[in-house]
Structure 1
Amino acid sequence: MSKPQSYRTFNEFYPFYLGEHTHRVSRRLHFAGTSIALVLLVAAVAASIWWLAGLAFLQGYALAWCGHFFFEHNRPATFRYAWFSFLADWRMWWEILTGKIRL
């Protein structure tokens, strides 16, 4: 078994992250989950209903992990690279929103 790759910078990590999200349905689930999470976070702050922030994280990850387990058939990078994965999810969301990555 080969030693797992270690990433020192986000720019090293992001191509790996994209490679873990090649299935269109998985990307759609990530985009939907992140979009819903954003709406819930804004609502939490605007209405001072803080449990919505927790719900945002739960549902966001639930949709993303469904994409990995049922469509990508891989293990979410969050399990090993939590911070880089969190950042990469938002970057991928932005690149989908702006048309750089296709759904």
Structure 2
Amino acid sequence: MAREHTTFAEFWPFYLREHSRRSTRALHYFGTSLVVLLSIIALVSGRWWWFAAMPLAGYFFAWIAHFTVEKNRPATFTYPLWSLGADFRMWWLWLTGRIGPELRKAGVKDPA
């Protein structure tokens, strides 16, 4: 996939459309929540090796979702930093109950 998005604002709706199925987003939310939990454990315990588990925890569930549920190529392969930022943005919007309008704006038909 060639880089076609030049700003994060352009990338964001694309990212949401690449996560159009609820179960894809649920697996992402689980993985991202696990990443946050692992970072808290690392900080509280002082055992810094927990930080090494964070990428595995986050990417494992996300890639399972893309390859088995969504059946698309993870955007992180082409847009690694924007994908990371978008994942945390999507997770935060879900956590705060504001993801629905963003999904609808991006044209996702299964916005919850």
Q: TM-score, normalised by structure 1?
A: 0.91
Q: Which runs of 5+ in 2 are unaligned?
A: 101-111
User: 1:83 — aligned with what?
Assistant: 81
Using the TM superposition, name which of 60-69 and 4-13 deviates more.
4-13
Per-residue Cα deviation, 1:49-78 (whole angstroms, up to 9, x for no partner): 111111121111100110000000000000
Deviation of the 1:31 alpha carbon: 0.3
Matches within 5 A, 1:1-103: 4-101=2-99, 103=112
Per-residue Cα deviation, 1:36-60 (whole angstroms, up to 9, x for no partner): 1001011111211111111121111
Deviation of the 1:5 alpha carbon: 4.5
Calculate percent identity across the aligned residue pairs. Answer: 47
* Secondary structure of 1:13's aligned partner: helix
Aligned CA-pair RMSD: 1.4
Deviation of the 1:101 alpha carbon: 2.1
Tell me the matched-pair count.
101
Cα distance in structure 2, aligned partners of 1:37 and 1:5: 27
* Secondary structure of 2:99's aligned partner: coil
